[in-house]
């Protein structure tokens, strides 16, 4: 039976438009999904939008829309962006869908029935216009709303509280017995540190807002946006609606998240699952911020970059390759346009693009346009085998930059072999056939191994060198074995990755 691989992105909040920070996580999840499909695993890739909460209601009001209209509009923009970037999600969840209400209510009801949710009172400084509480430190002059600059009032309301404090020991025990559940280790340590500091019970419902999932046992309340949002991961595989499907996929889930939502995913979410009698997720991979010129992207700084600004120049593949190859998954990364151009020109235009163009040209001139078969004893066979082994291990630990670095070693070695043999100077014959057959086989394997990152170009490489089918339909590890290239018609074409001027 093939393994199962369930991978998720965070669901993105619809008060905001898609930018390269969202794209970074989503492209990484997509590449992982594609890699695991190549391994023949049963893959389920989930993304979507988080549509409840006051911020959405407020953004809607500012735009003269209802919250649902605001959610529909922004959700559609995410879908367009993912289509532009060739994101192969299996499901796009929206938290305003009926299925999500059903799952959220079922999971919270289970936690309530198990005795982990109780009514309490919440009190604090409240702005009526914001419909929100403020900590004393956030107030202007100690008494004014920081947004409306008008006096706040002391309000007390009934909230349902999740008894998070009761889960400290169980969470620490889970972290002890699952040392690799949260990666990288620095983020795992951060989560353990938060638990050790002591956990307070958390308010999970509101009576003052209505844009949310109703609390099933008390219709005066809706769940606070974060708690319904987390449950999307369970909704999409049928929690509360299709138990057999849920049991087949849970807890084999890999959550990809940014470090700003670590507390919710690495502390609250495992505890909430335990409260409902479920296993915590098998993996939470945390990445850093994608900085722009050293700064965090934000609406107020106006330094957000939309994928649609970059794709016309770099193509979907060039965009994807940059974020997978240059941004290490884990630490903070820094985006620069110049860096993106440099990487595109070096790896895609020069190394890979030139290799394909060169091989196609020489096959056309010396082999009558038919690609010769590779030599079983080629020294490139060992390089290819090593590229596969290294790349496979790197994808497994969510290190796409290392996987691609290993794959490009084969590109460089193949270029070097061509330069050493100079088949363009030699007369047609077995020696030229041998060199070109090896280069074609290396190209076939590179396209296959790189297809999770550059799916369009990979398919085009196969088409041009006369390999039948699409790399996305191939299976590893067998597909990467040396000798798979059977020869075939080789087509010249336009540059796969036209070189970009280095002055942006």
Question: Minimum Å distance from CB 134 to Zn ion?
Answer: 8
Which CB atom, from 129 or from 426, has the smaller least distance to Zn ion? 129
Select from 122-130, 198-206, 286-294, 310-318 the region that touches Zn ion (CB under 5 A): 122-130
Bridge-partner residues for 334, per DSSP? Answer: 291
The C-alpha angle 355, 323, 5, rounded to 5 degrees, equals: 100
Which residues touch 152 (CB under 8 Å, ≥6 apart)? Answer: 125, 126, 127, 134, 139, 143, 144, 145
Which CB atom, from 128 or from 308, has the smaller least distance to Zn ion? 128
Q: What string of DSSP letters covers 450-478?
A: HTTT-HHHHHHHHHHHT--S-GGG--TTG
Task: Please pick, from the candidates 17, 130, 144, 155, the single residue that binds Zn ion as defined by CB under 5 A.
Answer: 130
Which CB atom, from 148 or from 397, has the smaller least distance to Zn ion? 148
Which CB atom, from 54 or from 181, has the smaller least distance to Zn ion? 54
477: cis peptide before it, omega within 30°?
yes
Which CB atom, from 54 or from 85, has the smaller least distance to Zn ion? 54
C-alpha–C-alpha distance, residues 324 and 328, integer Å:
7
Question: Minimum Å distance from CB 132 to Zn ion?
Answer: 7
148 binds Zn ion (CB under 5 A): yes
Catalytic residues: 19, 22, 127, 130, 145, 148, 296, 299
Which CB atom, from 126 or from 269, has the smaller least distance to Zn ion? 126
108 binds Zn ion (CB under 5 A): no
Closest residue by Cα to residue 411 from 346, 315, 316: 346
Question: Minimum Å distance from CB 152 to Zn ion?
Answer: 7
Question: Minimum Å distance from CB 130 to Zn ion?
Answer: 3
Select from 126-134, 199-207, 303-311, 353-361 the region that touches Zn ion (CB under 5 A): 126-134
Which CB atom, from 127 or from 411, has the smaller least distance to Zn ion? 127
Distances (CA, A) of 18 to 102, 173, 264: 28, 38, 21
381 binds Zn ion (CB under 5 A): no
Question: Minimum Å distance from CB 86 to Zn ion?
Answer: 42
172 binds Zn ion (CB under 5 A): no
127 binds Zn ion (CB under 5 A): yes
147 binds Zn ion (CB under 5 A): yes
C-alpha–C-alpha distance, residues 311 and 308, integer Å:
5
φ, ψ of residue 214 in degrees (nearest 5): -60, 140
Question: Minimum Å distance from CB 228 to Zn ion?
Answer: 24
Select from 82-90, 142-150, 257-265, 384-392 the region that touches Zn ion (CB under 5 A): 142-150
Residues 26-85 that bind Zn ion (CB under 5 A): none
454 binds Zn ion (CB under 5 A): no
Closest residue by Cα to residue 456 from 443, 446, 471: 471
129 binds Zn ion (CB under 5 A): yes
Is residue 499 within 8 Å of 401, Cβ to Cβ? no
145 binds Zn ion (CB under 5 A): yes
Question: Minimum Å distance from CB 139 to Zn ion?
Answer: 10
C-alpha–C-alpha distance, residues 504 and 499, integer Å:
12
Q: Is the dihedral of CA 287, 316, 9, 52 positive or negative?
A: positive
In 346-487, which residue ranges form alpha helices assigned H by DSSP?
354-366, 379-396, 400-421, 430-450, 455-465
Which residues of the shown chain bind Zn ion in the complex (CB under 5 A)? 127, 129-130, 145, 147-148
């Amino acid at each position: 039976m093939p393994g199962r691989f369930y991978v998720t992105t965070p669901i993105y909040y619809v008060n905001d438009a898609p930018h390269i920070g969202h794209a970074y996580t989503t492209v990484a999840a997509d590449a992982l999904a594609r890699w695991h499909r190549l391994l023949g695993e049963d893959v389920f890739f989930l993304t979507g939008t988080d549509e409840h909460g006051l911020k959405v209601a407020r953004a809607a009001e500012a735009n003269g829309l209802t919250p649902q209209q605001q959610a529909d509009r922004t959700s559609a923009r995410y879908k367009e962006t993912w289509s532009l970037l060739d994101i192969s999600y299996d499901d796009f969840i929206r938290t305003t869908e009926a299925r999500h209400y059903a799952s959220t209510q079922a999971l919270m009801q289970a936690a309530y029935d198990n005795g982990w949710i109780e009514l309490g009172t919440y009190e604090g400084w409240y702005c009526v216009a914001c419909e929100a509480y403020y900590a004393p430190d956030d107030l202007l002059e100690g008494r004014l709303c920081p947004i409306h600059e008008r006096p706040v009032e002391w309000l007390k309301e009934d909230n349902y509280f999740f008894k998070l404090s009761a889960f400290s020991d169980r969470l620490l025990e889970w972290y002890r017995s699952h040392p690799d559940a949260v990666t990288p280790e620095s983020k795992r340590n951060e989560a353990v540190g938060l638990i050790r500091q002591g956990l307070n019970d958390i308010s999970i419902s509101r009576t003052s807002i209505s844009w949310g999932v109703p609390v099933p046992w008390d219709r005066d309340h809706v769940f606070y946006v974060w708690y319904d949002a987390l449950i999307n991961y369970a909704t999409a595989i049928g929690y509360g609606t299709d138990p057999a499907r849920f049991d087949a996929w849970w807890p084999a889930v890999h959550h990809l998240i940014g470090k700003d939502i670590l507390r919710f995913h690495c502390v609250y979410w495992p505890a909430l699952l335990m409260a409902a009698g479920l296993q915590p997720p098998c993996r939470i991979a945390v990445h850093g911020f994608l900085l722009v010129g050293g700064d965090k992207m934000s609406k107020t700084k106006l330094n957000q970059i939309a994928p649609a600004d970059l794709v016309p120049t770099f193509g979907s593949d060039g965009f994807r390759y940059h974020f997978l190859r240059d941004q290490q998954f884990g630490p903070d990364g820094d985006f620069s346009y110049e860096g993106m151009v440099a990487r595109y020109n070096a790896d895609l235009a020069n190394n890979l693009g030139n290799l394909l163009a060169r091989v196609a040209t020489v096959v056309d001139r010396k082999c009558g346009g038919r690609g010769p078969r590779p030599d079983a004893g080629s020294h490139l066979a060992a390089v290819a085998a090593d590229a596969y082994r290294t790349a496979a291990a790197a994808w497994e630990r969510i290190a796409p930059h290392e996987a691609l670095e290993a794959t490009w070693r084969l590109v460089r070695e193949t270029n070097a072999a061509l330069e050493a043999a100079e088949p363009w100077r030699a007369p047609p014959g077995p020696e030229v056939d041998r060199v070109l057959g090896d280069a074609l086989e290396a190209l076939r394997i590179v396209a296959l191994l790189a297809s999770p990152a550059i799916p369009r170009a990979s398919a085009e490489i196969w088409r041009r060198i006369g390999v039948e089918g699409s790399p996305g339909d191939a299976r590893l590890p067998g597909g990467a074995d040396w000798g798979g290239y059977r020869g075939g018609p080789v087509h010249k074409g336009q540059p796969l990755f036209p070189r970009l001027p280095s002055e942006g």
